[in-house]
Amino acid sequence: MSLVTSTEMFKKAYEGGYAVGAFNVNNMEIVQGITEAAMQERAPLILQVSAGARKYAKHAYLMKLVEAAIEDTGLDICLHLDHGADFEVCRSCIDGGFTSVMIDGSHLPFEENVALTRQVVDYAHGKGVVVEGELGRLAGVEDEVNVAEGDSSYTDPAQVEDFVTRTGVDSLAIAIGTSHGAYKFKPGQNPKLRFDILEEIGRRLPGFPIVLHGASSVMQEYVEIVNAHGGKMPGAIGIPEDMLRRAAEMAVCKINIDSDLRLAMTATIRRHMAEHPDEFDPRKYLSPARDAIRSVVAHKMKHVLGCSGRA
């Protein structure tokens, strides 16, 4: 029961044909909902923190929340920086106790991405921290991550061996058609992922852990609850769960999920407020919101990631 790196988790996931869930955290209820699910499912777990989450909740609070969850649940947890934008934010998280960081140089020209990633790897490895890099660009919008569809590009399999060898990264995020946020495909459009690219990357990097960002399935039951209670999310569409399952059976060892948790939490609070218009005790609506997060995460672990019982 401690903070761990993802090294062992990924080794077992690769061999076992499943993926570890990396869930974004911002506050106590989200941390509790996720960790209760991991305990219930006896699943390996990565909790990840974006720059926006660090700004919102502050580094020290997030550290203490994760430490409290470890103490409370007895889980081993990998604490990861999501979408580190530069060397300084990576260094700050490494020095501040994270066990894993992502340096997201995916918007840079190849050689600049290599140089920046190598700089972070050298520092991180010196402190026993692992590093995720990214090649290729996902579309989509979230707080501090905003890429227009026209600026996105699939990962070029011909570049991955060179990138991994020269940077020394421990895992690699790739772009095969997933995207950030709740609007991943247009209504009427057939969701599609480039499994041919994933397969080729798996062939070129045998045994090496691949990461999938933008992997929420945007669960329609929650979209409907939002839309039935004053929300307006028509056309919110995610990655079909069977596609994520297929990726998890291939080289993908880490699957990032944030939007599905936001959606479950927001839908549950909207419904509670609509049903209890006189409510003003936050505990009364945050408790069912936390339960919804637990149930979504348990569902993902059991039916999508395949990591239940693997802790």
What is the contact surface with Zn ion in residues (CB under 5 A)?
213
Which range in 27-35, 55-63, 151-159, 258-266 contacts ligand 13P by CB under 6 A? 258-266
Does the footprint of ligand 13P cover residue 79 (CB under 6 A)? no
Catalytic residue among 72, 76, 82, 281: 82
Q: Sort strands 139-142 and 145-147 into parallel, antiparallel or unpaired.
A: antiparallel
Mark 6-45 with x for binding to ligand 13P (rule: CB under 6 A) and - for no binding. Answer: ------------------x---------------------
Closer of 15 and 144 to Zn ion (Cβ)? 144
Site for ligand G3H, residues 64 to 83, rule: CB under 6 A: 82-83
* Contact flag: residue 55 with ligand G3H (CB under 6 A): no
Task: Read off the DSSP letter of residue 97.
Answer: T
**Is position 214 an interface residue for ligand 13P (rule: CB under 6 A)?**
yes
- Write out the chain in H/E/C secondary structure: CCECCCHHHHHHHHHHCCCEEEEECCCHHHHHHHHHHHHHHCCCCEEEECHHHHHHHCHHHHHHHHHHHHHHHCCCEEEEEEEECCHHHHHHHHHCCCCEEEECCCCCCHHHHHHHHHHHHHHHHHCCCEEEEEECECEEEECCEEECHHHCECCCHHHHHHHHHHHCCCEEEECCCCEECCECCCCCCCCCCCHHHHHHHHHHCCCCCEEECCCCCCCHHHHHHHHHCCCCCCCCECCCHHHHHHHHHCCEEEEEECHHHHHHHHHHHHHHHHHCCCCCCHHHHHHHHHHHHHHHHHHHHHHHHCCCCCC
Q: Which stretch binds ligand 13P (CB under 6 A): 10-18, 109-117, 210-218, 268-276?
A: 210-218
Lay out the site mask for ligand G3H across 141-180 (x = CB under 6 A, - = otherwise). -xxxx----------------------------------x
Number of residues that bind ligand 13P (CB under 6 A): 14
Q: How far is the CB of 85 from ligand 13P (least distance, A)?
A: 13
Binding to ligand 13P by residue 299, rule CB under 6 A? no
Which listed option, Zn ion, ligand G3H, ligand 13P, none, makes contact with residue 52 (CB within 5 to 8 Å by class)?
A: ligand G3H
52 lies in the site for ligand G3H, by CB under 6 A: yes
User: 19, 256 in Cβ contact below 8 A?
Assistant: no
Of Zn ion, ligand 13P, ligand G3H, none, which one sits near residue 53, judging by CB under 5 to 8 A according to partner kind? ligand G3H
Residue from 82, 132, 134, 170 that binds ligand 13P (CB under 6 A)?
82
User: Using the rule CB under 6 A, is 300 a contact of ligand 13P?
Assistant: no
Q: Name the residues annotated as catalytic.
A: 82
